[in-house]
Structure 1
C-alpha cells in the first residue's frame, strides 16, 4: 500500500492571505498526521508566498511521520534542506515565478547538477527523489544519477483520465515498470484527487508514495479534513 503524504502549501497560502497565524500551519499538520496521513510535504519557494523557510524548521520539530521537502536546488533551498534534514528531499525544476510545478526534470540534460545534488543530500542520510515526466529515457537518466526514487508528474494523467483512463495511465505504467527494473522507488504527485487516485494506484506497479495537496485541501472544504484523509487512504488500499 502506497503511503499518503499531504502537501500543506494551501494551508500556508490561506494563512498568509490575512497575515497572522490562522490557520495554524503547524497545528494543522499535526492534526493531519493524527487523522491518518503518513507524511507531510512542503514546497517552499524563494518568495515564501505560501510555505516559509521557518515553517520547514518548525515542522521538523513536530512531524512524527515523514517530512518531504520539495523544491528547485538553488542555494537557499540546499541550505534549508541541509539545516532541516527531512526524511526525503524531492528535486523539482520549477522557476521562481511558477504558480505550480509544470514539468519534470530532463535527467539527461541536467545530469551533472542532479548527480551533485543527490550525492550531497544522500551523504547526510536524506532520501532523494527527482520529479520527472513519465518517459522511460528520463527514468533511465534518473537511475544513472543515483537517486533513490522518482516522483512521476501526474498532471497529464489527471487531465486525460476523465476521457480515457486506459490511455491516460499507459505512459505511467511504462515508466513505472522501467523504474522497478532499475531499482528505483516510485512516488507520484500533481493533480491526483479522490476521483482519479484509486485507478492510478491499482495500475502502477510498486507505487510507494503519493503527495497530494490542492485537491485534498479543496475537497476538505466540503467533506472535512479528517474524512477526506481517510477517503484517500481507502483509495490507496
Structure 2
C-alpha cells in the first residue's frame, strides 16, 4: 500500500494579487475555502512582518472556516508571529529562518548552530498541541541536528532539486533521498516545498514514497491562471498518487 502524501496549497500569491489593488479581490478566505473544496488536504499561509501578502487578519479569518489542515509558516524570532500561532493554534507550524524583508524562503536552518534556540521554540509550540516542522536543506547532518531539537517533522527545501531537475534529475534528487532516508531512520516526518511543480513533483514523490506532505503555492497559482484553480489542484494531487 502506497504512503499517502498530502497536498497543502499555499495561498500567499492570492494575497499578493489582492494587495496590489485596494479592495478584497481576490478574496483570500474564499481561496482557502475553494482549495479545500477542490480537493487539497490543507492550506498553508506565510505571514511576514510587513504583511506584504498574507495579513495577520487573514490568518485569523481562515482559522474560522478551515476544515482541513492549517499550516502556518514563519520566522519564530518574531514575537508577533509566535503570539499569532499560539492564538490561532493551527495543526502545524513550519519554522523558517527568514531574514526581515526577505523576498522568499531560500535556505534551511543550521540545526547544529541553532539547536538550543530551536529546541526552546519548538517546545513552546508543542506544549500548545501544535505539530512542528522545520525548514532544512538536504544535508544529512542538518537532519540529524533537527532530530535533536524535538521537532516532529522536517520540511526539505526543494529549490536546489527544482533548479537541477531538467539537466540531471537523478543527480538532483540524490541528496534529498539521503536526507529523507536519515529522517525516516530518526522517525521524523517529512514535508517538502519550494519550486515543486507539475513537471518535477511526481519524480520527487516516486523517489521518496514515504513523503508526508508537500506545500505548493507559486507554481500551482501560476498554473491556475491557465488551467483553472480546481483543475490545477486536482492535477497536483494526481502527481502524488
Normalising by structure 1, report the TM-score: 0.99
Specify the SS of the correspondent of 2:112. coil
Match of 2:157 among 153, 170, 185: 153
Match of 2:182 in 1: 178
Distance in 2 between residues matched to 1:190 and 1:48, nearest whole Å: 20
Unaligned residue ranges in structure 2 (runs of 5+): none
Specify the SS of the correspondent of 2:148. helix
Aligned-residue RMSD, C-alpha? 0.6
Give CA deviations for 1:121-152 in whole Å, capped at 9, x if unaligned: 00011000000000000000010001000000
Specify the SS of the correspondent of 1:67. strand
Is 1:8 the counterpart of 2:19? The answer is no
Match of 2:119 among 115, 119, 122: 115
CA contact (8 A) 1:134 1:152 kept: yes
Distance in 2 between residues matched to 1:92 and 1:71, nearest whole Å: 6
Distance in 2 between residues matched to 1:157 and 1:57, nearest whole Å: 33
Distance in 2 between residues matched to 1:19 and 1:67, nearest whole Å: 27
Distance in 2 between residues matched to 1:169 and 1:140, nearest whole Å: 19
Match of 1:189 in 2: 193
Distance in 1 between residues matched to 2:42 and 2:69, nearest whole Å: 5
Is 1:46 the counterpart of 2:49? The answer is yes
Match of 1:138 in 2: 142
Specify the SS of the correspondent of 2:199. coil
Distance in 1 between residues matched to 2:145 and 2:199, nearest whole Å: 32
Where do 1:1-237 residues align within 5 Å? 1-73=4-76, 74-237=78-241
Distance in 2 between residues matched to 1:75 and 1:112, nearest whole Å: 17
Unaligned residue ranges in structure 1 (runs of 5+): none
Specify the SS of the correspondent of 1:139. helix
- After superposing on structure 2, the runs of 4+ consecutive aligned residues of structure 1 that deviate more than 3 Å are none
Aligned residues: 237
Normalising by structure 2, report the TM-score: 0.98
Specify the SS of the correspondent of 1:96. coil
CA contact (8 A) 1:177 1:205 kept: no
- How many Å apart are 1:19 and its aligned residue? 1.6
- How many Å apart are 1:205 and its aligned residue? 3.9
Give CA deviations for 1:196-220 in whole Å, capped at 9, x if unaligned: 0000000014100000000000011
- How many Å apart are 1:17 and its aligned residue? 0.4
CA contact (8 A) 1:57 1:84 kept: yes
